[in-house]
A = this chain, B = another copy of it.
């Protein structure tokens, strides 16, 4: 199986983001995948008027990074029972202009990460609703509603317990198989 490139979008900008740390820990388990963390904090808010002339450079850079990836991984906290604005904006930028979405057809997976018990369920499923429109084949199981984020990793950034590690390993393996299954299917139906 060839090594596939996964564009990773992290929904939190703060330096000590649980989402980012969790994504980094997952990366160590995903041998068949090459994770590329894509910057989204510098993207101007989507505004169709900006498509008319030269688009903002970060938009072009972001679109190119997604275009060259085989798959997309969304890792996010939940803000107000939904997706953080910064991540939603990145998706909006990637999806446009009309008919030229760089997200269309890319196999995808979601991991929502929260210090609380609910594990970002609300953000997770709002992303899934978007993925339908975006025509991104979405991995269903294992669902990753990661709660208790503060105790997830040890001081070295590894998973603190064996059972959790096994869940993340299953997720990494399932995602790799999902990507493999969906290669060459990116023509919009």
Q: A residues touching B (Cβ–Cβ < 8 Å)?
A: 13-15, 41, 45-49, 79-92, 95, 117-119, 121-122, 125-126, 128-143, 145, 147, 170, 173-174, 177, 181-182, 185, 188-189
Contacts and interface: CB of A to CB of B under 8 A. Distances in A.
A84 B86 CA distance: 10
Contact of A181 (B128, B134, B185): B185
A129 B128 contact: yes
Contacts of A135: 140-141
Contact of A81 (B49, B129, B147): B129
Number of this chain's copies in the assembly equals 4
16 contacts: A13-B47, A13-B49, A41-B45, A45-B85, A46-B86, A80-B133, A82-B88, A89-B89, A121-B121, A121-B122, A122-B129, A125-B129, A134-B140, A135-B140, A141-B188, A142-B189
Contacts of A49: 13-15
Given A81-B129, A84-B88, A137 B134 contact: no
B126 A126 contact: yes
Contact of A129 (B82, B181, B182): B82
Contacts of A118: 117-119, 121, 145
A80 B134 CA distance: 7
A87 to B, nearest CB: 8
B189 A80 contact: no
A85 B46 contact: yes
Contact of A47 (B14, B125, B126, B134): B14
A188 to B, nearest CB: 6
Most chain B C-beta atoms within 10 Å of own C-beta, residue among A45, A135, A136: A45
Contact of A133 (B81, B84, B139, B170): B81
Contacts of A45: 13, 41, 84-86, 89
